[in-house]
Chains A and B, each alone.
Chain A
């Protein structure tokens, strides 16, 4: 793969990659490291892509796989599930931007607190993937996707304090 093509691919999927990385790592510096690992994994994997799945799904799959292995070793550091105190304190932010930022971070924390299987399905659902696309990207059955998303919805609503 030429450097130009790889750059274009990274630019085209910058948002998707950033959000998937954020679903695995809260710390900004470690998230940068994870993004670097994801980009390297993409560089190595892309020559094997034959167009059997949409490029976006392929990229998401590689990113999730790298994210899953990143979680190994980080488990003791991040308890998962609990919202950080800083975010709770931001609840009374002065303007709309702060509130939006707070909602975004609360959602990130809630997603990171989900078990791995649910988290992967949820991040793809939030990216607008259909059930069939999620099933293809994660290598599971479509029925299983529906079950996971249903369970994840309850867990997310509870973590966000919205009630299922």
Chain B
């Protein structure tokens, strides 16, 4: 099946706009929430968030090894009977930095996915609000903690 030129252009524009508007991008770590999550009523679904950290930087893992470090958090507020039941962080990377000789730190670097399990309620289109909190460093300095809000659309049928 062939599509008219305007359809191709429209699809490209909407895809680009969706990426640009959906991406949470302040600082050196960038969160891409999933497009609309489709789920059945009174069941579970998975929303996969994509996170990328700029080259040369790391963010603390969800369980830093030192108590003074700020853990990375993904928080989703319940709405319309939909709530997050589990955030499946990847295994942290243990790296030693010039400021932590002999003390590997548990960090996230590069690109990685974070699947979040959602429990749904009654049918309906739900818009959930959440936040992505992280604190980034490179080998020489640290940036202040960042809390970035995002929205997640869940279509429950």
A, B assembled together: no
Interface residues of B (CB under 8 A from A): none
Interface residues of A (CB under 8 A from B): none
